[in-house]
């Protein structure tokens, strides 16, 4: 499917509303002696984090300032995730709290956007149960936010825009990022894979790749601002370029990024195993800036379940990829996603997954209990295992993996690692924290001024979830 780029005219229309909002905000400031404040909250994946940066970019141009505290805000916006039920529950919980806030702050404007509200039944539920929400818009309407917000403020009635489109990319939306040494750059949007458990293709639309030049320009701008680590982002980066008119694939894009001066580290997420090419493995091996880290979601180790999940690979094919990656890049750090309790999964199927964990020995895993998503094919299947059995399997898997994590980390004892310093550790305020090339967390003592710098650390005390070391 061809990629629709938001036309200059469409974006010009949004800019017209940014200007109107700006005028309105200026009038507000004169009348009230303060600037209007916006509060943004993001749920879900990096894709959403990236969208919120665009929302903040547009709000900033429209004259808003920001507050971390919803209670002080004039405009609160939740950018939501639909991937599992608990992500949605969190947002419903927050909306409940806002109802009380709105009673004491009647002028507060509340907006909900993103993946969750792209589903019609959720949108309906919000309108019924949380009628204090003023504005609802889906992932396809992001660029229209200025107009929608302006209408909400003028018309004083609920504005909803969850129209679907065949996909659109706007290269013009301003981005407001915190200045950091690390940045995420979207290289494509949407997903074509329709794994039977997953809601993402329904709420994000089909795959659309950004043009390489737009990606390069964004990275160059980031580097000029001091960023050195770039993470390329897409639901399945391995199919990058398939929808473009030019002949380029993900490995080619990686090489181009590898050549950009000032970039020191390149990471990417997510790689679907069915599309992982030998060319990509060789590119990772040969390009010095590409971190030797691969996130390769397995989901299940049972061929029967993989088929029912519509994953398009077998356990054997998956293991063959892992073997090849380990052979070409022996220092590779491997991570994965696993779903436990897919409806038709039996304990024998689950044990096949455990076998893969024991064979691959991942550095870490992200494990999820299956969550039924309305409208997906798997939602119609009956469960074989009880909730209790599923939870027991889940705990068993964590035990197996915890032991592997510890053993893998112990291999790092006395090694010297280059670490990009993130800043003060979240768990111990007396320590700094950063990540190795392979993405492992390293804690060490040092001066805060090292934030954003690359330092050499000797690992002295490997732990289950992180490494401890000393500056050398």
Left if phi > 0, otherwise alpha if psi is -120 to 50, otherwise beta: which for 226?
left
Candidate list 55, 198, 222, 294; residue touching ligand SAH; CB under 6 A: 198
Helices (H), 133-189: 145-155
Please give the residues from 153 up to 192 whose contact with ligand SF4 meets the rule CB under 6 A. 191
CA distance 456 to 458: 7
Which residues are 442's β-sheet partners? 434, 467
What is the CB-side half-sphere exposure of residue 236 using CA atoms within 13 A? 24
Which of ligand SAH, ligand SF4, ligand F3S, none binds 302 (CB below 5-8 Å, type-dependent)? none
CA distance 115 to 112: 10
155: its two tokens = 């018309």
398: its two tokens = 């964590």
Closer residue to ligand SAH (CB): 387 or 428: 387
CA distance 448 to 422: 10
Closer residue to ligand SF4 (CB): 54 or 373: 373
Which of ligand SF4, ligand SAH, ligand F3S, none binds 47 (CB below 5-8 Å, type-dependent)? ligand F3S
For 116, counting Cβ atoms within 10 Å of its Cβ (0-12 exposed, 13-18 middle, 19+ buried), the class is buried
Which of 113, 116, 127 shows the shortest CA–CA distance to 41?
Answer: 113
φ and ψ at residue 347, rounded to 5 degrees = -65, -30
Candidate list 39, 56, 84, 130; residue touching ligand SAH; CB under 6 A: 84
CA distance 136 to 113: 6
Candidate list 126, 188, 200, 291; residue touching ligand SF4; CB under 6 A: 200
Site map for ligand F3S, 144-183, x if CB under 6 A?
Answer: ----------------------------------------
Please give the residues from 49 up to 88 whose contact with ligand F3S meets the rule CB under 6 A. 81-83
Candidate list 3, 38, 39, 44; residue touching ligand F3S; CB under 6 A: 44
Interface with ligand SAH (CB under 6 A): 83-84, 197-198, 200, 235-236, 270, 272, 297, 299, 337, 339, 368, 370-371, 373
Interface with ligand F3S (CB under 6 A): 44-45, 47-48, 81-83, 115, 199-200, 203-204
Interface with ligand SF4 (CB under 6 A): 191, 193-195, 198, 200-201, 235-236, 272
């Amino acid at each position: 499917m061809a990629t629709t780029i938001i036309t200059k005219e469409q974006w010009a229309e949004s800019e017209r509303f940014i200007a109107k909002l700006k005028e309105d905000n200026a009038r507000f400031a004169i009348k009230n002696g303060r600037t209007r404040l916006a509060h943004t909250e993001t749920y879900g994946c990096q894709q959403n984090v990236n969208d919120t940066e665009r929302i903040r970019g547009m709000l900033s141009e429209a004259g808003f300032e920001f507050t971390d505290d919803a209670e002080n805000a004039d405009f609160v916006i939740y950018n939501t995730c639909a991937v599992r039920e608990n992500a949605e529950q969190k947002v419903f919980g927050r909306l409940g709290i806002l109802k009380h806030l709105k009673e004491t702050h009647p002028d507060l404007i509340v907006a909900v956007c993103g993946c969750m509200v792209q589903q019609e039944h959720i949108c309906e539920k919000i309108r019924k149960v949380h009628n204090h929400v003023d504005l609802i818009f889906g992932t396809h309407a992001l660029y229209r936010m200025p107009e929608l917000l302006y209408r909400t403020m003028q018309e004083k009635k609920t504005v909803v825009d969850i129209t679907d489109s065949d996909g659109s990319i706007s290269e013009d939306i301003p981005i407001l990022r915190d200045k950091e040494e690390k940045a995420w750059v979207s290289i494509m949007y949407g997903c074509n894979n329709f794994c039977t458990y997953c809601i993402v293709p329904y709420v994000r639309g089909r795959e659309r790749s950004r043009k390489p030049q737009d990606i390069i320009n964004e990275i160059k701008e980031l580097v000029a601002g001091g960023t050195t680590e770039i993470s390329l982002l897409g639901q399945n980066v391995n199919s990058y370029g398939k929808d473009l008119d030019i002949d380029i694939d993900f490995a080619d894009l990686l090489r181009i990024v590898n050549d950009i001066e000032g970039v020191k580290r390149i990471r990417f997420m997510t790689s679907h195993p069915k599309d992982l090419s030998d060319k990509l493995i060789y590119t990772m091996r040969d390009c010095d800036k590409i971190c030797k880290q691969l996130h390769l979601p397995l989901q299940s180790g049972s061929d029967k379940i993989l088929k029912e999940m519509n994953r398009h690979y077998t356990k054997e094919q998956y293991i063959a990829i892992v073997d090849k990656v380990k052979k070409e890049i022996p220092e590779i750090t491997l991570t994965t996603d696993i779903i436990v309790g897919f409806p038709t999964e039996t304990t024998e199927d689950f044990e096949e997954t455990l076998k893969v964990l024991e064979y691959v020995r991942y550095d870490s895993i992200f494990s999820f209990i299956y969550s039924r998503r309305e409208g997906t094919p798997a939602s119609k299947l009956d469960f074989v295992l009880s909730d209790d059995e599923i939870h027991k399997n889940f705990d068993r898997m964590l035990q197996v993996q915890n032991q592997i994590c510890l053993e893998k980390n112990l291999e790092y004892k006395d090694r010297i690692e280059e670490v990009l310093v993130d800043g003060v550790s979240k768990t111990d305020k007396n320590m700094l924290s950063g990540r190795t090339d392979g993405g492992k967390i390293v804690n060490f003592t040092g001066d805060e001024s090292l934030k954003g710098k690359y330092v050499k650390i000797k690992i002295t005390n490997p732990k289950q979830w992180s490494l401890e070391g000393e500056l050398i």
